[in-house]
Amino acid sequence: MTTDRAGTSCHACNQLQMDMSLSSPATLKSVADAAGVHLSTASRALDPARRHLIGPDVLQRVETAARELGYRRDMMAAALRTRRTRLVGLAVPDIANPVFAPIIAGLSAHLADAGYSTIVADVGADRARQKRLTDDLIARRVDGLVLATALLEDGAVAALLQASLPLVLVNRVAAGLAVPAVTSDDRLGMRLAVAHLIALGHSRIAHLAGPQQISTGRQRQEGFFAAMTAAGLDVDATSAVAATDYSVQGGEAAARKLLAAHVRPTALAAANDLLAIGALRVLRAEGLTSPGDMSVTGFNDMPLVDMINPPLTTIRIRGNEIGREAAALLLQRIASPGAAPVQRVILPDLIVRGSTAPPRD
Amino acid sequence: MTTDRAGTSCHACNQLQMDMSLSSPATLKSVADAAGVHLSTASRALDPARRHLIGPDVLQRVETAARELGYRRDMMAAALRTRRTRLVGLAVPDIANPVFAPIIAGLSAHLADAGYSTIVADVGADRARQKRLTDDLIARRVDGLVLATALLEDGAVAALLQASLPLVLVNRVAAGLAVPAVTSDDRLGMRLAVAHLIALGHSRIAHLAGPQQISTGRQRQEGFFAAMTAAGLDVDATSAVAATDYSVQGGEAAARKLLAAHVRPTALAAANDLLAIGALRVLRAEGLTSPGDMSVTGFNDMPLVDMINPPLTTIRIRGNEIGREAAALLLQRIASPGAAPVQRVILPDLIVRGSTAPPRD
DNA sequence: CTGAAAGCGCTTACAG
DNA sequence: CTGAAAGCGCTTACAG
């Protein structure tokens, strides 16, 4: 620091010290000793919110020492003291499902900006495994929990709610529980899709429904029936077949049942892109084409569905926004746990592509 | 516990206690007090590895108390004492890129089985942001770090390596650094793709290369040239054009340059599925078809590329296996930090679909 | 403005 | 087999 040359060589030496210090991280005590102050003083000097209490010369000495030793506060030790880990747990049913990627990205970006890290738990569909992994998150004393796994009737969510741990549901809601949630407007989305098909001239429209124990499946189905009856169109028990899960295979199985109907529909509104793709596969296997023989709509606007054959008309949900909003709600929840829980609904958009067209006849 | 009825009502009451305890979690001390033992005894009784030291009656009392109070060990407090957080950090450049989903899933599943939780940091491509978020992970005292962000020349990796923090690279390697890594065999994969094109009768084959500062981009390009020269085919400076990043847009830009060549190639081997899709888009925009006017191959076998038009011939990397292997390597590294670093290469497969065919002439 | 002390919840030698 | 004590790294009233 005395001359340029000394400054340069000192920089190199600081680098070395930083590297070495990582092997056995510097503690507040070692920084305080190096600066010749008490560790409580060092603690204050290194806290942006409290450094104004410190004299300029002491501040300088502590900062230099911290830099030279490569000090990094142990967030977990601090957490023990402050009772806040700044850790958030996110439970997703299947991290490989492309629907969740933008939600995870939006959520963790917003949380990171607020100084929180996100532990993503890929908890699967098995309830016991879900509970075990969620309990792990709690054992890590996360400051809050975001669940993308909720069922309509969900005892686990009810239990978590009792525990007064800040909790937010994302993408799916639970019925009859006062818990903050951020979802897409599933009813509206499906109504948009069906209205589009009706506008094209379709009247025999079937619904390839999602699992009915999940809010997305249930509400999209409600949207389907609402749109049909509002247009004065026929619906009966065979108009909708529910898939057992949101997967291409699930879509194939359900689509086969729909195709077996005595009067084949001219259009199919699926509750999800993967289901729609399953339906397209079945059509192709049966020697039928889309949109020629049957128009098909999806839901979610997953990556690449614009590139499939035919390009899928679908409902775009704003995953990133949903994730960010969930993060905001959770932060709010952490700040004031007593406040009334709010539920936010993000509006989806209809994206028209090649898989829908007027009916042939 | 004295009568069935008492047992029943006690169950309900335990439930209540469990719920209440979560709001202000039971501590080891409260469990010990309830069981009438010292907290060190309770600690041992609750540790599977040490409970054999405890007398059966005391063990029973502690377990009952723990259950009734809904006790869950504070993993972070334990971490402070044991110097092991059982937390692993994973840095990915873009969590929304579908390539990473199976890797993340495989990694976190294997780690979860070993009692570790994974913090996924979506660090982006900006080096400063990457450093900041990686430093955050270190400040959380993760037991190890997995990086999916390595560049060929990577000062950050070198620095981390010095820090003697268990470190594993996944998907991409850094040049000249003795660091454990798990990747797909990128050279082999591209050779497979090119050999397939040659077998179909192509000889004017171009390479839509990935970013050359990333090992996947470099090695796939090397594989391309190796396969071409091995077959005695012409390559020159215009045979390969590198995209600036792995994206559809990047693929479009690079594909346009390739199409501008004086003699148009009959086949295009892309370094990545997204690049291949970009190329397909450009072909379509130019009024050309695939595979008719040009065969195209991708790399990765992302979800849905089997459904696009034309279905993409590609190289399948085993993402889940790569993730699991990376987890295994990291666990090994944590257990014995001194051992020589090993690099594992997972073999990819050629998946032939509709985007490749013999050349027209 | 700075220091001394208590304590967050746990584990682990050390005694007995 | 169980207890008493120290200490992991930090923050925060409480003094001065």
Q: Closest CB to B105: pick one of A96, A102, A304.
A: A96
Interface test with chain A among B21, B28, B76, B129, by most A beta carbons within 10 Å: B76
pLDDT band at B86; cut points 50, 70, 90: very high
Considering only residues B239 and B19, tell me which one the structure prediction assigns the higher pLDDT: B239
What pLDDT does residue A49 have?
Answer: 86
What pLDDT does residue B51 have?
Answer: 86
What sign does the CA torsion over B251, B256, B262, B265 have?
positive
pLDDT at B20 over 70: no
What pLDDT does residue A7 have?
Answer: 33
Give the residue on A whose Cα is nearest the Cα of B89: A119
Inter-chain touch B280–A75, beta carbons under 8 Å: no
Question: What's the rounded mean pLDDT across residues A279-299?
Answer: 96
Give the percent of chain A with pLDDT over 90. Answer: 75
Question: What's the rounded mean pLDDT across residues A153-174?
Answer: 93
Question: What's the rounded mean pLDDT across residues A61-76?
Answer: 91
- pLDDT one-digit tens code per residue, A79-106: 999 999 999 999 999 988 888 999 999 9
What pLDDT does residue B1 have?
Answer: 30
Could you identify the residue whose CA is nearest to the C1' atom of nucleotide D11? A81
pLDDT at B295 over 90: yes
Phi-psi region of A67 (alpha: psi -120 to 50; beta: other; left: phi over 0): alpha
Instruction: For residues A206 and B73, give the distance between their C-alpha atoms in angstroms, rounded to a whole number.
Output: 52
Question: What's the rounded mean pLDDT across residues B57-73?
Answer: 90
What sign does the CA torsion over A253, A254, A257, A263 have?
negative
pLDDT at B319 over 90: yes
Name all protein residues with C-beta less than 7 A from any atom of nucleic acid chain D.
A 25, 27-29, 39-40, 43-44, 46-47, 71, 73-74, 77-78, 80-82; B 37-41, 44, 52-55, 57-59, 80-81, 83
pLDDT at B18 over 60: no
Question: Between the CA of residue A2 and those of A15, A45, A50, A318, what are the distances in Å?
Answer: 18, 25, 30, 56
Question: What's the rounded mean pLDDT across residues B321-344?
Answer: 94
- pLDDT one-digit tens code per residue, B129-163: 999 899 999 999 999 999 999 999 999 999 998 88
Inter-chain touch A101–B79, beta carbons under 8 Å: no
What pLDDT does residue B361 have?
Answer: 72
What pLDDT does residue B255 have?
Answer: 96
Are the CB atoms for A28 and A39 separated by under 8 Å?
yes
What residues of B are in contact with residue A140 (Cβ under 8 Å)?
75-76, 87, 117
Task: Output the distance from A79 CA to C8 C1' rounded to whole Å.
Answer: 8
What pLDDT does residue B96 have?
Answer: 85
pLDDT at B15 over 80: no
Give the residue on B whose Cα is nearest the Cα of A312: B308
- pLDDT one-digit tens code per residue, B42-60: 999 998 888 888 888 889 8
- pLDDT one-digit tens code per residue, A190-230: 999 999 999 999 999 999 999 999 999 999 999 999 999 99
Considering only residues B40 and A22, tell me which one the structure prediction assigns the higher pLDDT: B40
Nucleotide minimizing C1' to CA distance for residue A74: D9
Tally C-beta pairs within 8 A across A and B.
154
What pLDDT does residue B8 have?
Answer: 34
What residues of A are in contact with residue B270 (Cβ under 8 Å)?
none
Half-sphere exposure (Cβ direction) of A253: Cα atoms closer than 13 Å: 10
What residues of A are in contact with residue B94 (Cβ under 8 Å)?
105
A140 strand C contact, CB < 7 Å? no
The mean of the pLDDT values for chain A is 90
What pLDDT does residue A23 have?
Answer: 55
The mean of the pLDDT values for chain B is 90
| Strongest mean pLDDT among A260-274, B34-48, B310-324 | B310-324
Strand C nucleotides in reach of protein CB atoms, 7 A cut-off: 1-5, 7-13
Question: What's the predicted TM-score (pTM) here?
Answer: 0.88
pLDDT band at A125; cut points 50, 70, 90: confident
Question: What's the rounded mean pLDDT across residues B69-73?
Answer: 90
Closest chain A C-alpha to B171 CA, distance in angstroms: 17
What is the enclosing helix (H) or strand (E) of B336?
Answer: none
What pLDDT does residue B23 have?
Answer: 55
Cβ neighbours of A156 (radius 10 Å): 17
pLDDT band at B205; cut points 50, 70, 90: very high
* Closest by Cα among B116, B117, B121 to B95: B121
Question: What's the rounded mean pLDDT across residues A277-299?
Answer: 96
Considering only residues A11 and A155, tell me which one the structure prediction assigns the higher pLDDT: A155
Inter-chain touch B307–A303, beta carbons under 8 Å: no
Considering only residues B291 and A163, tell me which one the structure prediction assigns the higher pLDDT: B291
What pLDDT does residue A158 have?
Answer: 92
| Strongest mean pLDDT among A100-104, A138-142, A258-262, B188-192 | B188-192
